[in-house]
Amino acid sequence: MQFSQGKYVQNRLFEQKTCRYKLKSLMLPILGTFFLIGCNDSSNETNNDPDTPATESYFDTTNPPNFDITLPTTNGPIAKLSGSEPVTDPIEPSENQAIIYLVTKPDDNADYRQYSLYTWNDENCDRTDPTWLKDWSDISNTPAGIDQYGPYWQLPLKEGDSDCLNIIIRDVDLNNQLGSDARPSLSKSNHNIALIPGSTTAYLNREEAYLQLSGIANAQAHLISGDQLVWKNAPTASEYRLYVSLDAKIELDDHYQYTQPYVVMSPSSLTAEQEMKFPSLSQDSVTLSLDDELDIRNIIKAQLVAMAIDAEGNVLAGTQVQTANSLDSLFAANAQAVELGSTIQENGQTQFQVWAPSAQNTVLVLFDDDKKERGRLQMDYNANSGVWSTTTDKATSGTYYLYDTTVFHPASNKVEHYKVSDPYSLSLSTNSAYSQVVNLNDPELKPQGWDDLQRPVKQDNPAEFVIYESHVRDFSAQDKSTPENYRGKYLAFTQQDSIPVKHMRSLSQSGVTHLHLLPIFDIATINESKDKVANIEQPFSKLCLVNSKVESSEFSHYCNSNLSIIDVLNTLAESDTSDSSTVQSLNRLISETDSFNWGYDPFHYTAPEGSYSTSPEGTQRILETRQMVQAIKSNIGMNVVMDVVYNHTNSAGPDNNTSVLDKIVPWYYNRLNPITGTVENSTCCSNTAPEHTMMGKLIRDSLVVWAREYKIDAFRFDLMAHHPLTQIEDALKAVQAVDPTIYFYGEGWNFGEVADDALFIQASQAHLAGTGIGSFSDRLRDAVRGGSPFDSQEGIRKTQGFGNGAWVQPNDITEQVLSDALQSTDLVRLGMAGNLKAFQFIDANDKLVRGDNVDYNGQPAGYAQDPTEIQNYVSKHDNQTLWDNNQYKVAYAASLDERVRMQAVSLATAMLGQGVPFTHMGSEILRSKSMQRDSYDSGDWFNKVDFTLHDNNWDKGLPRQDKDGENYPIITQVIDTHGVSAKPNHTEIAQMMSYYQDLAKLRHTYPLLRLGKGEEVIKRITFHNTGSTQVPGLIVMSIDNGTNVSDFTQETPTANKLDGLIVAINASPNPINFTLPTTDFVLSSVYQSDLAQGVVIEGSRLALPAWTPAVLELPRKGERGIGIPVVMN
């Protein structure tokens, strides 16, 4: 690699292995002549170090690429800092203490008093004193001091074997100010750690950090193309420069000067098209142009710093450069058609291709089954596409591999050299340490009959779907009818005679159509090594073995017992109180080493998770995922939905073990703050940037694999509004090329740095009308449940909903008035009509309103064009279960039977409405998580689902303190006061199961409940009992099928043809009489339970018992009648 500017020449050689080699010429495809190299070594030691060569078949590379960069000669003044004075450290650390500095500029006006230091210990870094190990939400570790150069913390240390710390410095909103997790080392002579914003690099003192900060701060410059740079908040300057260093040596010399080579940039401007494309960059920015003779394709491989200089050379500002948009401009178009990853070709050779345009070198490293290095192949670089590739016959199916990458990483400000797995991995080793070559068409990886497998439910009209949300581990982890080695695994779904599978089959027979699986891609936060995991059915002694913290905890006396973990939890639950919440305390320790996690922590997007397989090593996970899909379709009778999480990665940065994308192409795949350059984390973790072309390609390619190779029928997108709408639509087009009826839905929540279309037009609720893409509706959810998911303490109980007694059966502290209850009922009505923008009805204020004129927290409530763009639900994996939510809110006097019927009424609003119903697993059997708000890693104890219908998991100990600690007083009060009225037994659970089956059968029976098109809803549906004088708690929805509209039941057998349908819901504790719009209605004969028992129809009078959903038919008598014409009364 050569770099020149005038007489300036810089040479870089890639580090090669050094040992005494035996050389043997070896011909390899495409790459010409290489050398087979083996080291003479008298040692017979072997280990799993990737750098340990095997004794045979080891070959190396000898011709790394050379990238020439020539810059024009410059004659401007040397850039220098002016007026710098030495910055001292205010205190010295004591013997068992480290001083952590966040070094800032003196003119920084930030309020650092509310900043906090978050620390944790792990196997590699364990020096932080336990008193400073707090939950993420705890902000008590505030600065010990603050001066003009920033805050600092006095961190107590404990004795330990390691010499490093885990550190995150957070602002008041808990944003990581360092960009990613810092792991600074402690020297024996110096326990000072100085950090600067946006970087994890640690300095020995504040002066070193300050000198780095004063010259170069943040990453406010954005290279948006091959010749244009936009600098946010740039100062007015005499000259703007771009400094370039392949060796990452842009730094001050002893005289506080920058003597590295640079190019001068000239003033420019953005076009109108560019301003639309980069809205966040178009304001308060300076636009600069580069000489178009520069080879920017090579320059982007270097460290880049923009500087503003005055006439004397004083540095007014310096900032790192974000290059993602230029990578798109320069390379993405030519990389779109490239098949990335490892591909076994028809001639038996394997092609490897990885997109890494900023890499200075990429070498393919091959490993045998024992993870001993077998060989290395230099990859060829395509300067037009940014793709590194090689083809070889030395990497047959089953071969493990990594990419040895040399690349400048702005987060560390270093040229990094590391091995990284393939972001396009299709198969992996245990814990995803190595990628694996695989042919997904290998017959050995297909269960018998796989190629001919068909979906059991047609998908032409998504309104016919009833989606049931499940989780692979929850489904069977504690089920004794499932073989022990299949519990919590993919293969549990293949056990036809197990209780969970029989339960699912009964739901399918009732009308549930789709099984939604929480993430089954490769998950970063589940340990796949069985010997390092302790699940609750295992001996407590194993927990002590795999988690050393237990032996120093209050539970250590169980380590030598013969008890299982679940035995101990049962014992603790008998005396669990808010003053001594020992169940959750132990459960937090269990969660560190168990196999449970929801899985919203992506590691590799296109390989199945290994912990759900009977063997996480290699391709078994592929076969068993397919066996599961086949069993769900063939044996259970449902289509399969996959939950996908392309909006974030588990981590980013050069040092994190679960960082993949950000190591391959630093600062590209993750969305960065436009000022600081830190990775945005509004999603929870390291946000991705689907707006970047190659991230969009990764998502598209990944989805196609899941659709084509695993026969997934629909995809649910986590935090879909963090994606551009165009990217989601492009992905849908790609998968519908595989299967035209594949369906997309997701979370359209509008928040974070992308909110209100700040960066692009989002795939949010507001923009989905007419796309055919569904989104979860919080409108009906909140109206039925009451309040919002963000309520806490007594605020949860004060806000009742339609489904638990708002106004009609008030609890002891409710603050709701009649107008609140009627507004909620209007939202339920709109939701049951598909939450359409254009649907009209009479609201609680006696006004004829459209759906988009109904208010929902300051937003239009109606936002869909068709009801298939709405997921109506009252419970899903997030937040409290429906049962737990209702117990928070129902009146203490409510009987157990009433509570069961409240559950049924709540579910009926989704099941009998026009959206796409979505049911959380266990809602049909009164599932409880013991009031847990967020159980993402709360383990099998709190997440248990009992398909034997004997227990609903109520009151198994207080929920985790970090999520629900502030709610302990109200939780304790609710549990104690409700008593046995909140604790169902087998009778009530079975009753609820029969209620849900009736609701599913009703939906399946009547096409009028599944209209699908907004225009049909508008032509047919009327809500009665509306306006200011309505009977509270009563919804009456009629669906016309008379002569005024086309016959929607024309394919229905003649004997079952209807002229109309009514859905009537009494969500109150009292019977209600209502006058029907016409006579001749009859109660549906579909009911098999007592859900509609007591419903009386006499002429036009309808008598509805308390807490009852009823479906009434208007039978056809010979010729079609007038039906139930739409009226606005």
pLDDT of residue 241: 98
Residue 877 has pLDDT above 90, yes or no: yes
What pLDDT score does 1012 carry?
Answer: 98
Mean pLDDT computed over 358-363: 98
Question: In the chain, what is the greatest distance between 2 CA atoms, to the nearest angstrom?
Answer: 101
Per-residue model confidence as pLDDT tens digits over 683-694: 999 999 999 999
- Give, to the nearest 10 degrees, the angle between helix 693-710 and helix 725-738: 30
Q: DSSP assignment, residue 388?
A: E
Residues 466-525 have pLDDT tens digits of 999 999 999 999 999 999 999 999 999 999 999 999 999 999 999 999 999 999 999 999
- The pLDDT-based confidence of 95 (bands split at 50, 70, 90) is confident
Predicted pLDDT of residue 163: 86
- Span 787-800, average pLDDT: 97
pLDDT of residue 50 exceeding 70, the answer is: no
Region 356-379: mean pLDDT is 97
Query: Which of 925, 1086, 19 shows the shortest CA–CA distance to 500?
Result: 925
In the chain, what percentage of residues exceed pLDDT 90? 86
Band the pLDDT of 914: cuts 50, 70, 90.
very high
* Inter-residue contact 551 to 544 (CB < 8 Å): yes
d(CA 78, CA 314): 8
Mean pLDDT of 5-26: 33
Q: Is 338 helix (H, G, I), strand (E, B) or coil?
A: coil
Catalytic member of 328, 416, 522, 747 = 747
pLDDT at 53: 45
Q: Taking 80 as the threshold, does the pLDDT of residue 105 lie above it?
A: no
- Domains in the chain (CATH in brackets) are 17-61+332-420 (2.60.40.10), 88-214 (2.60.40.1110), 216-322 (2.60.40.1130), 444-525+595-774 (3.20.20.80), 777-926+984-1115 (3.20.20.80)
Percent of the chain predicted with pLDDT > 70: 94
Going by C-beta distance under 8 Å and a sequence separation of 6 or more, which residues neighbour residue 980?
896
Which tens digits make up the pLDDT trace of 1030-1073?
Answer: 999 999 999 999 999 999 877 777 667 999 999 999 999 999 99
- Across residues 25-43, what is the average pLDDT? 28
Summarize the confidence of residues 569-582 as an average pLDDT: 93
User: What is the H or E stretch that residue 272 is in?
Assistant: helix 272-277
pLDDT at position 2 is: 41
**Whole-number pLDDT of residue 1118:** 87
pLDDT at residue 26, rounded to an integer: 27
Q: What is the predicted pLDDT for the residue at 24?
A: 27
Residue 617 has pLDDT above 90, yes or no: yes
Average pLDDT over residues 405-416: 97
pLDDT at 34 > cutoff 50: no
pLDDT of residue 764: 99
Per-residue model confidence as pLDDT tens digits over 198-224: 889 899 999 888 877 777 889 999 999
Q: How confident is the model at residue 1055, as a pLDDT?
A: 61
Q: Which of 209-213, 318-322, 852-856 has the lowest mean pLDDT?
A: 209-213
pLDDT value at residue 366: 98
Residue 124 banded pLDDT, cuts 50, 70, 90: confident
- 562-576 in b/e form (b: 16+ CB < 10 A) is ebbbbbbbeebbeeb
Helix (H) or strand (E) holding 1121: none
Of 34-48, 394-408, 444-458, 591-605, the range with the lowest mean pLDDT is: 34-48
The predicted structure's pLDDT at residue 1129: 55
| 747 noted as active-site residue | yes
Which of 46-60, 160-174, 407-421, 1034-1048 is least confident?
Answer: 46-60
| Rounded Cα distance, 531 and 595, in Å | 11
Mean pLDDT score, 769-792:
98
The pLDDT of residue 20 is: 27
pTM: 0.88
Range in 99-103, 153-157, 977-981, 1050-1054 with the lowest mean pLDDT = 1050-1054
Single out the catalytic residue among 207, 624, 718, 778.
718
DSSP 236-268: P-SEEEEEEETT------TTSEE-S-EEEEEE-
Q: Encoding tokens for residue 800? A: 């009742």
Would you say residue 726 has pLDDT above 70? yes
| Active site annotation includes 718 | yes
Average pLDDT, the chain: 93
